[in-house]
Structure 1
Amino acid sequence: MRAPVFYGWIIVAAGFVTMAVGVNARTAFSLLFPPILDEFGWERGVTAGAFSFGFLVSAVFSPLVGRLMDRRGPRVVIEMGVLVMAAGLMLAPLVSRPWHLYATLGVLVGGGANCLGYTGQSLFLPNWFVRRRGLALSLAFSGVGVGSIVLLPWLQALIARAGWRAACWALAFLVLGVLAPLNLVLKRRPEDLGLRPDGDVAPAGTAAATRTNVVDAAWAAVDWTLARAIRTSRFWWIAVAYFFGLFAWYAVQVHQTKYLVEVGFSATHAGWALGLVSLFGVPGQIVLGHLSDRIGREWVWTVGSLGFVLCLLALLALRRAPTAPLLYFMVASQGMLGYGLTSVIGAIPAEIFEGRHYGSVFGTLMLTAIGGGAAGPWVAGALYDVTGSYTPAFSIAIAGSVLSALAIWLAAPRKVRAVGHSRQSPRN
Structure 2
Amino acid sequence: MPNAPTEPAALSHRRTWLLLAGAFVTFAVGAGSMHAYTVFLVAFIEAFGWTRADVSVAYAVSQLVTGTSSPLVGVLVDRLGPRRLILIGGAVLALGAFATSHATSLWQIDVLYGVVMTLGANCLGLVVFVPLLSRHFVRRRGMAVSIVQSANGFARAYSAPVTTLMIDGLGWRGAYLWQGVFVAVVIAPLAMLFRGTERSAARSSADAQGWTLPQASRTPHFWLLMAVYLFTGLGSFLVALHQLAFAIDVGFDKLYAAGVLGAGAFLSLPGVIVTGTLSDYVGREISAIVTYGTSIIGVVCALLITSPDQHVLLWLHACFFGLTWGARGPAITAKTADLFPGPHLGTILGVITIGTGAGAALGAWMAGFVFDVTGSYRVAFWLSILFYLCGTVAFWALRRPPAVRA
Q: Note whether the superposition's TM-score is higher than 0.5.
A: yes
C-alpha distance in 1, partners of 2:203/2:143? 19
C-alpha distance in 1, partners of 2:314/2:41? 21
Selected match of 2:221 from 199, 219, 234? 234
Selected match of 1:408 from 378, 395, 404? 395
The equivalent of 2:6 in structure 1 is: none
The equivalent of 1:32 in structure 2 is: 40
C-alpha distance in 2, partners of 1:356/1:193? 7
Selected match of 1:266 from 243, 253, 257? 253
> Is the CA contact (8 Å cut-off) linking 2:78 and 2:201 kept in structure 1?
no
- Is 1:275 matched with 2:262? yes
1:276-299 CA distance string (max 9 Å, x none): 132111111111111111111111
* Two-structure CA RMSD over aligned residues (Å): 2.5
Alpha-carbon distance, 1:194 to partner: 12
Matches within 5 A, 1:290-305: 290-305=277-292
Selected match of 1:167 from 167, 175, 191? 175
- Is 1:121 matched with 2:132? no
Matches within 5 A, 1:175-194: 175-186=183-194, 192=200
C-alpha distance in 2, partners of 1:109/1:380? 22
C-alpha distance in 2, partners of 1:294/1:235? 23
1:190-232 CA distance string (max 9 Å, x none): 9829999xxxxxxxxxxxxxxxxxxxxxxxx984211121121
Q: Which runs of 5+ in 2 are unaligned?
A: 1-9
C-alpha change, 1:148 and 1:371, in structure 2 (3 Å) is closer
C-alpha distance in 1, partners of 2:114/2:146? 27
The equivalent of 1:347 in structure 2 is: 334
Partner amino acid for 2:286?
A: W
> Is the CA contact (8 Å cut-off) linking 1:123 and 1:346 kept in structure 2?
no
C-alpha change, 1:244 and 1:194, in structure 2 (3 Å) is closer
The equivalent of 2:54 in structure 1 is: 46
TM-score norm. by structure 1 comes to 0.85
SS in 1 for 2:322: helix
> Is the CA contact (8 Å cut-off) linking 2:150 and 2:326 kept in structure 1?
no
C-alpha distance in 2, partners of 1:141/1:54? 19
C-alpha change, 1:150 and 1:223, in structure 2 (3 Å) is closer
Matches within 5 A, 1:9-408: 9-186=17-194, 192=200, 223-319=210-306, 323-408=310-395
> Is the CA contact (8 Å cut-off) linking 2:210 and 2:343 kept in structure 1?
yes
Alpha-carbon distance, 1:140 to partner: 2.2
C-alpha distance in 1, partners of 2:395/2:201? 34
The equivalent of 1:423 in structure 2 is: none
Alpha-carbon distance, 1:150 to partner: 4.2
C-alpha change, 1:148 and 1:45, in structure 2 (3 Å) is closer
1:390-420 CA distance string (max 9 Å, x none): 11221111110011111111122x6469xxx
Partner amino acid for 1:32?
A: F
> Is the CA contact (8 Å cut-off) linking 2:146 and 2:276 kept in structure 1?
yes
SS in 2 for 1:373: helix
> Is the CA contact (8 Å cut-off) linking 1:123 and 1:363 kept in structure 2?
no
1:28-47 CA distance string (max 9 Å, x none): 00011001111111221011
Q: Which runs of 5+ in 1 are unaligned?
A: 197-220, 418-428
C-alpha distance in 2, partners of 1:140/1:107? 24
> Is the CA contact (8 Å cut-off) linking 1:292 and 1:299 kept in structure 2?
yes
C-alpha distance in 2, partners of 1:191/1:128? 14
Alpha-carbon distance, 1:241 to partner: 0.6
The equivalent of 2:5 in structure 1 is: none
Partner amino acid for 1:58?
A: T
SS in 1 for 2:218: coil
> Is the CA contact (8 Å cut-off) linking 1:263 and 1:322 kept in structure 2?
no
C-alpha change, 1:380 and 1:400, in structure 2 (3 Å) is same
SS in 2 for 1:163: helix
Decide which moves more: 113-122 or 29-38: 113-122
C-alpha distance in 2, partners of 1:111/1:319? 38
Alpha-carbon distance, 1:363 to partner: 0.4
C-alpha distance in 2, partners of 1:322/1:313? 17
C-alpha distance in 1, partners of 2:94/2:149? 21
> Is the CA contact (8 Å cut-off) linking 1:124 and 1:188 kept in structure 2?
no
C-alpha distance in 2, partners of 1:252/1:180? 34
C-alpha change, 1:160 and 1:361, in structure 2 (3 Å) is same
C-alpha distance in 2, partners of 1:18/1:141? 11
TM-score norm. by structure 2 comes to 0.90
Alpha-carbon distance, 1:83 to partner: 1.4
C-alpha distance in 2, partners of 1:403/1:222? 34
1:171-191 CA distance string (max 9 Å, x none): 111111112321222268698
Alpha-carbon distance, 1:122 to partner: 2.9
Number of residue-to-residue matches in the alignment: 391
